Chains A and B, each alone.
Chain A
């Protein structure tokens, strides 16, 4: 099983509902964020092109944060989700420095925190909070190893990209373009 998130940049309007849903669901302390929205404007006026992306931890298949963690606190969980064991985390910051996506932050309680793909919701058969609330339904979540899953179908049908694949991280966040 390999969990992945597919996000349709053509449908996303950048409303940040996913951000608010995550902060509510996961009780993210005020001033921090596990997910965020990036707006990229490309080109020279008046020939512009815009892309809006809802970003979060890429749950990399070859995660630099897991590699750099000196205590084994960062680890691969079921379905390839990268998680932090708070009680093993010493807060050294190696994982924060090692992440090319800047997806991690030090939680005020001392350990390092990040997106978990809402693994507590997945266990109960629900989708992650951000996917659940998206008003334009531009976010999809599922198992990449299952060829019949919605995410697998979308990646067969549509053009997509991942973020900095050249960093060798094998990200599991796909953006339909």
Chain B
């Protein structure tokens, strides 16, 4: 048997803990970004299809949360930076090779639109709201006129935002667990699923809830399919990726991934949603919150396990 014993001579315990450079900020931001992308995707989609009356929660009510969660997400990103006063340097260049760069620009497109979207629907929450100033009223009518065009932009950029949350990780070939392009579609599916769950939670109409339960079941199915594919890909790949998969297949992240993310965050809410569609009385709060919890845990597990996976030499 061959044994290998590595003694690192860096001789200072302060370095290696520092290499786990990303803590709670990044997974929290990725969750909030995916959630906002999911909500805005459905809002834009049903506006384009002209189904605003059919799905009022998706088009009007749920998007009210998005500016807040995007701002909280951006604050988390800012807190994560080591050189905070220089954050504006992000917006002096656009580097397509760096997902963080075009992701920052995507947020620059999505965040203002989410604010405009809320402003246009403010009477949904405050029926007697008045903009008071003439130019604000002019702006409102201007954006109302171009609502469909704005919806198309939002539809495209919400998909980019959802995919970017995964591509951010998969661009790092130094972390074998992240270095799989399937993370892009997987994080998009998860973001759309949390978005659908959020719409379910704020919806007041039973028909709309049933519709988004169905959408969510399909999305959870896609997620489970992509997760299976991810592990098949890892196990058929190089030793470092086999080791990366091992983190979830018997390694330290096994329980937290399969129990908290896959069972409690995906399979259990899917079962509850199937029951609800089949006319069992399930309080919408339970599957909705479970999906949101699962989405958050998923980001945390991937972020932390990814930083634990590495090349050995």
Contact surface of A with B, Cβ cutoff 8 Å: 14, 16, 19, 31-33, 36-44, 64, 67-73, 87-94, 96-100, 102, 105-106, 109-112, 163-164, 166-168
Q: Which residues of B contact A71 (CB under 8 A)?
A: 89-90, 92-93, 95, 101
A155 to chain B, nearest CB (A): 19
Check B4 for interface membership: any CB of A closer than 8 A.
yes
- Given the known interface contacts A71-B90, A97-B307, A112-B82, the answer about A38 and B14 at a Cβ–Cβ threshold of 8 Å is no
Cβ–Cβ contact A70 & B95, under 8 A: yes
Contact surface of B with A, Cβ cutoff 8 Å: 1-12, 14-16, 18-19, 21-22, 80-87, 89-90, 92-93, 95, 97-101, 104, 171-175, 238, 307, 310-311, 313
Q: Which residues of A contact B10 (CB under 8 A)?
A: 33, 36-37
Cβ–Cβ contact B174 & A99, under 8 A: yes
Docked CA distance A154–B2 (Å) = 31
B99 to chain A, nearest CB (A): 8
B149 to chain A, nearest CB (A): 29
- Given the known interface contacts A44-B2, A87-B86, A105-B18, the answer about A64 and B172 at a Cβ–Cβ threshold of 8 Å is yes
Cβ–Cβ contact A90 & B12, under 8 A: no
Cβ–Cβ contact B15 & A90, under 8 A: no
- Given the known interface contacts A90-B89, A111-B82, the answer about A98 and B9 at a Cβ–Cβ threshold of 8 Å is no
* Chain B residue nearest in CB terms to A89: B83
Give me 18 A-to-B residue pairs in the complex whose CB atoms sit less than 8 angstroms apart, sorted by A's number.
Answer: A32-B12, A33-B10, A33-B11, A33-B12, A36-B9, A36-B11, A38-B8, A38-B9, A41-B5, A41-B6, A88-B86, A90-B89, A92-B80, A97-B307, A100-B173, A100-B310, A105-B18, A106-B82
Cβ–Cβ contact B7 & A41, under 8 A: yes
- Given the known interface contacts A32-B12, A69-B98, A93-B22, the answer about A100 and B311 at a Cβ–Cβ threshold of 8 Å is yes
Q: Which residues of A contact B311 (CB under 8 A)?
A: 100, 164, 167
* Chain B residue nearest in CB terms to A66: B97
Q: Which residues of A contact B81 (CB under 8 A)?
A: 90-92
A1 to chain B, nearest CB (A): 24
